[in-house]
Chains A and B, each alone.
Chain A
Amino acid sequence: MSANTLSLTLQIWRQEGPNTTGAFETHNVSGIPDDASFLEMLDVLNENLIEAGKIPIEFPHDCREGICGTCGVMINGRAHGQEKGTAVCQLHMRKFNDGDTIAIEPWRATAFPVIKDLVVDRSALDHIVASGGFVSAPTGTAADANDTPIPKEVADSAMDAAACIGCGACVAACPNSAGQLFTSAKLWHLNSLPQGQPERFRRTEAMVDTMESFFGSCTNHGECSEACPKEISLDFIAYMNRDYVKSKVFNRKLASQK
């Protein structure tokens, strides 16, 4: 057991449902060990609320090891809190000081409506992937591994993009609530590989169009990449812009055959 414990004042967004108005609620918690994670701190608060006969706070969480992309809240105005390259579940209370006041909000975007309290509906991200984030290969059984030679650098680049866990922090951190970092990561992990080439432009157009029907547009602030728990690079956004306009300009004939 850690010797240090923290007492905190929490300002938490409470909202009944998607169609009601929410407000901040202040709670005090004490005796939080500093090696607890941020979500475990919320667990302690919820235990207290249940014992007091109140309704616990809904917050998104699943694997708690930073790989599933379910968790995510705004902490003091930063997506996933102040720790770089870290999801909320991997943010530990030792990063905070005793007596701190912490403001906790749900992801910010009109495309992310609040379901309850801190839980938002991220199905807009699913719609983007569903519109083209796949490779259709109706060619029989699975090919042998390494059948298609891929240079190491290309595989690395695709893997960097595929590291996206789809948590939505990029959208929440963006002052325009743009989905560019998410969409470009999903595009590049297929568009950079040989298997992704046949559908490259169709995919780019479909996914960007879906993205734009939900989210804002990019103003190149770079906030998304800073907030990203997987530190996805802004470079992918440039590749997406390049492919999209290329598709509109040079690939009209192919695109119209879809």
Chain B
Amino acid sequence: MATPTISTRPSSPTPRPKKKELPYPLNIYQTAVGKKWVMAVTGIGLLGFVFAHMLGNLKIFIGEVEEDGVLVQDIDVYAEFLREIGEPLFPHGSVLWLMRLGLIAMFALHIHAAYTLNKLNNSSNVRYQQKTDWLASNFASRTMRYTGPIMLAYIIWHLADLTWGFTDALYSNDGAAGPATGEWHHGDVYANLHGSLGNPISAIIYIVANMALALHIFHGAWSMFQSLGINNPRYNAARRYFAAGFAGLIFVGNVSIVIATMADWV
């Protein structure tokens, strides 16, 4: 009996060459589904950071408190507390640095997964001429690849502005609370914030960046459930509300600090 031959058509698509499989658990990260899983897990960690960061910053509304008989800004007390976490078991500032390392690792994985998946997706897609008529996607989901890099650029600027004080030449004294131009002081959170936001350009950067953050969260905080396989028809609608609520909360919370500081309410 003649063996049937399978003809390969010239049009047949060629699969991508398989990479050598790394040992467990690194092999999970080698696959696109695994990368999305890592993106979701690191995303949850970053959501936690964003939330805690906002809570800490909202302390600016508490204003002055008495410590050891002196009036100090509560947010400055909180900033010092972050360095004291874990004392006296751990040395001063060490637990904060551990948390920072975790944060940096989460950012690195989140960005690397996004970059490689984006490359894979671009190589998988082909465009003819007609524009895609979007049905289900929204502005937030389509702009993830832009709001992500915007956030990265903003984080670097935010660190340079308030953590390292590189941009204190832009500080401006708009009221009684603000320091003079070029007057960045380590640990003096309240004064630094007023100095930075005394400059309207700086304030606009903060507000625009928070818009990008809210958009990124609006899609990401929903998408992570799908990537992790957390799906139950009974609760699926709640996932959307969670994402919208979280994005709205972060935006309102963060922007209220910017506006209140600019208006010298705090």
Interface centre among A103, A127, A209, A210 (most CB of B within 10 A): A209
Q: Nearest A residue to B28 by beta-carbon distance?
A: A248
A108 touches B127 (CB 8 A): yes
B129 touches A105 (CB 8 A): yes
Q: What does the 1/0 interface line of B20-33 toward A look like (CB < 8 Å)? A: 00001101100111
User: A234 — which chain B residues lie within 8 A by C-beta?
Assistant: 226
User: B134 — which chain A residues lie within 8 A by C-beta?
Assistant: 223
A135 to B153: give the CA distance in the assembly, Å: 50
A110 touches B123 (CB 8 A): yes
The A interface, classified by DSSP as helix, strand, loop or mixed, is mixed
User: A241 — which chain B residues lie within 8 A by C-beta?
Assistant: 33, 36-37, 226-229
Q: Can you sample 22 A-B contacts with CB below 8 Å?
A: A13-B128, A18-B10, A18-B11, A77-B133, A105-B129, A108-B128, A110-B126, A115-B11, A173-B135, A176-B120, A177-B121, A214-B15, A218-B36, A219-B223, A220-B227, A226-B135, A235-B236, A238-B230, A238-B231, A245-B34, A248-B27, A248-B28
A82 to B130: give the CA distance in the assembly, Å: 14
Q: Which 10 A-B pairs have the closest CB atoms?
A: A242-B229, A216-B124, A238-B231, A222-B136, A176-B121, A221-B137, A217-B32, A213-B15, A77-B133, A226-B135
- In chain B, positions 72-94 with a C-beta closer than 8 Å to chain A are none
A167 to B143: give the CA distance in the assembly, Å: 28
B44 in the interface (beta carbon within 8 A): no
B16 touches A108 (CB 8 A): no
B35 in the interface (beta carbon within 8 A): yes
B33 touches A109 (CB 8 A): no
B57 in the interface (beta carbon within 8 A): no
User: B13 — which chain A residues lie within 8 A by C-beta?
Assistant: 110-113, 121, 123-124, 214
A17 in the interface (beta carbon within 8 A): yes
- In chain B, positions 112-145 with a C-beta closer than 8 Å to chain A are 117, 120-121, 123-137, 141-142, 144
Interface size class of chain A, counting residues whose CB lies under 8 Å from the partner chain: 35 or more
- In chain B, positions 212-241 with a C-beta closer than 8 Å to chain A are 219, 222-223, 225-231, 233, 236
A78 to B132: give the CA distance in the assembly, Å: 6
Q: Closest CB of chain A to B218's CB: distance in Å?
A: 12
User: B129 — which chain A residues lie within 8 A by C-beta?
Assistant: 11, 24, 103, 105
A113 to B9: give the CA distance in the assembly, Å: 11
**Given known A175-B142, A177-B124, A214-B16, contact A121–B9 (CB-CB < 8 A):** yes
User: B229 — which chain A residues lie within 8 A by C-beta?
Assistant: 238-243, 245
User: A220 — which chain B residues lie within 8 A by C-beta?
Assistant: 141, 219, 222-223, 226-227
User: A221 — which chain B residues lie within 8 A by C-beta?
Assistant: 136-137, 141-142
Q: Closest CB of chain B to A162's CB: distance in Å?
A: 18
Q: Closest CB of chain A to B79's CB: distance in Å?
A: 37
A76 to B25: give the CA distance in the assembly, Å: 44
List 8 additional contacts besides A22-B128, A248-B34; criterion CB under 8 Å.
A78-B132, A110-B126, A113-B11, A127-B15, A215-B124, A220-B219, A235-B236, A245-B37
- In chain A, positions 204-258 with a C-beta closer than 8 Å to chain B are 208-210, 212-223, 225-227, 234-235, 237-245, 248-249, 252
B3 in the interface (beta carbon within 8 A): no
User: A225 — which chain B residues lie within 8 A by C-beta?
Assistant: 136
B18 in the interface (beta carbon within 8 A): yes
A139 in the interface (beta carbon within 8 A): no
A13 to B225: give the CA distance in the assembly, Å: 39
Q: Closest CB of chain A to B40's CB: distance in Å?
A: 9
User: B25 — which chain A residues lie within 8 A by C-beta?
Assistant: 248-249
Q: Closest CB of chain B to A26's CB: distance in Å?
A: 12
Q: Closest CB of chain B to A201's CB: distance in Å?
A: 13
**Given known A217-B32, A223-B136, contact A110–B124 (CB-CB < 8 A):** yes
A22 to B229: give the CA distance in the assembly, Å: 40
A109 to B123: give the CA distance in the assembly, Å: 9
A223 touches B16 (CB 8 A): no
Q: Closest CB of chain B to A117's CB: distance in Å?
A: 12
A177 touches B125 (CB 8 A): yes
Q: Closest CB of chain A to B227's CB: distance in Å?
A: 6
Interface centre among A112, A217, A243 (most CB of B within 10 A): A217
